[in-house]
Structure 1
């Protein structure tokens, strides 16, 4: 059993923390370097968390639990127009990253106005490539209730945000609703906004925990964290990807930021334990820049 953590510290001697993670049999999920600051999202056996904390203290860094690490979340806005972006949706995205989530901003092409808002099949499929979707909607009750068609038939959990207080039972297709986050033309810095963001994080964390419990009833043949590590070790082209997260871990798979047509066969031949990846997963083209999406098969599929 692994615990996911976020290490924050300087670049000086940072190799000592990564070497410790490897020695403990853990994994580096994501590593971001900004000037002299380093943020590492990692997973280590629960019994070894104290060793990571001791090393972090020695390096003058900090360690905290990252409950959303190993997940990919879609932050969906009705449009890319200024009335929807960048303030509330971007602040939601930034806040969830603090808890270890890898999130992607998605703006719908025809979401302006409650009377004409639409979502295409490709947009639905793109959103469903994620573990969970957060729909950042508006400030009026009628506007939110008239836009439930944007998400009511999605196959992944959906959390809806808006300004008014609404019972989630009145929102078809929503797993949860968090109020206090409407269309705000400034950064979310006030106390009530921070409390709403904290409530959103707790709600998302709870839904993801429930999803993890469902997966453990019929888990993947190989864990996604191990698949991520083996792809990074065996596919040399991954090292040439400029993205800070060339391989993104999901609850039931990974997203590889390489071209599908060029690398799908090579990805399929990756060896994970005694398995070949193409034998224990479905490898398909992602609607995000023709990346490679690997969805792992459950143990029941080989019975």
Structure 2
């Protein structure tokens, strides 16, 4: 059983932390370096957490639980226009990363305006490749309640954000609504903004906790973090991927940032715990740049 953690510290001697994680049989899920600061999202056996905490103190860093680690979130804006991006959506995206999530920002091609806003089938399928979607909407009640068609039939959990207080019953299709996060033409640095971001994190963590409890009733045949490591070790082309996080962990699979048409057979042939990956998963083409999406089968699906 693994616990997901976030290590925050300096880049000096950070290789000692990564080496310890590997020695304990753990995994580095994500690495972010900003100037001299380092943030590692990691998974380690529960019985070894104290060793990680001791090493963090030695390196003058800090460790905290990362309940969103190993998840991929879509942060969706109605358009890529300046009234929707970059302020609120970008700050939501950056804040979620602090808690271990891997997020992707998606701007809809025809989301502007209450009367003409639309979402295409390809956009829906792309959003549904994630574990959860955050729809960052506007500052007026009508801008939110009149755009529920954008997400009401999306199959993954949906969290909607906006400025006004609105009852969830008035937003069909949403699993949760967080107020205080409308279209703000500045960075979200004020007290009320930070409180709203913290509320958003709490809501998403609650949804993921419930989702993980459901998964435990019928878990994947092998853990996604193990699949991530084996793909990184056995597929040589991964070393040539310069995009951040070449293999992204999800709740029930991984996203591999390699072209599906060229590499799907090699990925299917990866051995995980003496099992061929293609036999215990569905390997499909992603709507994101033609990447490869690995959807792990549950234990009962192959009985």
Q: Which TM-score applies when normalising by structure 1? A: 0.98
SS at match of 2:110: coil
SS at match of 1:42: strand
Q: How does 1:142-161 map to 2 (within 5 A)?
A: 142-161=142-161
Aligned pair 1:234/2:247, yes or no? Answer: no
State the shift of 1:237 in Å. Answer: 0.8
Question: Which runs of 5 or more structure 1 residues have no equivalent in the other structure?
Answer: none
SS at match of 1:50: helix
State the shift of 1:270 in Å. Answer: 0.3
State the shift of 1:146 in Å. Answer: 0.5
Aligned pair 1:70/2:82, yes or no? Answer: no
Distance 1:191 1:19 in 2: 39
Distance 2:157 2:124 in 1: 13
SS at match of 1:249: strand
Task: Give 2:130's aligned residue.
Answer: 130
Distance 1:34 1:242 in 2: 17
* 1:275-296 Cα deviation digits (max 9, x unpaired): 1000000000000000000000
Task: Give 2:221's aligned residue.
Answer: 221
State the shift of 1:145 in Å. Answer: 0.5
Distance 1:286 1:132 in 2: 16
SS at match of 1:40: strand
Q: How does 1:117-266 map to 2 (within 5 A)?
A: 117-266=117-266
Task: Give 1:272's aligned residue.
Answer: 272
Calculate the aligned-residue CA RMSD, in Å: 0.9
Distance 1:177 1:34 in 2: 32
Q: How does 1:85-124 map to 2 (within 5 A)?
A: 85-124=85-124
Matched residue count: 303
Task: Give 2:27's aligned residue.
Answer: 27
SS at match of 2:194: helix
SS at match of 1:85: coil
Distance 1:37 1:99 in 2: 16
Distance 1:18 1:88 in 2: 33
SS at match of 1:112: coil
State the shift of 1:65 in Å. Answer: 1.3
Distance 2:86 2:18 in 1: 35
State the shift of 1:302 in Å. Answer: 1.4
Distance 1:134 1:108 in 2: 13
Out of 39-48 and 68-77, give the one that drifted further: 39-48
Question: Which runs of 5 or more structure 2 residues have no equivalent in the other structure?
Answer: none
Out of 178-187 and 32-41, give the one that drifted further: 32-41
SS at match of 2:231: helix
* 1:229-270 Cα deviation digits (max 9, x unpaired): 100011111111111200000000000000111100000000
Aligned pair 1:61/2:84, yes or no? Answer: no
State the shift of 1:33 in Å. Answer: 2.7
State the shift of 1:147 in Å. Answer: 0.2
Distance 1:182 1:15 in 2: 41
Out of 42-51 and 254-263, give the one that drifted further: 42-51
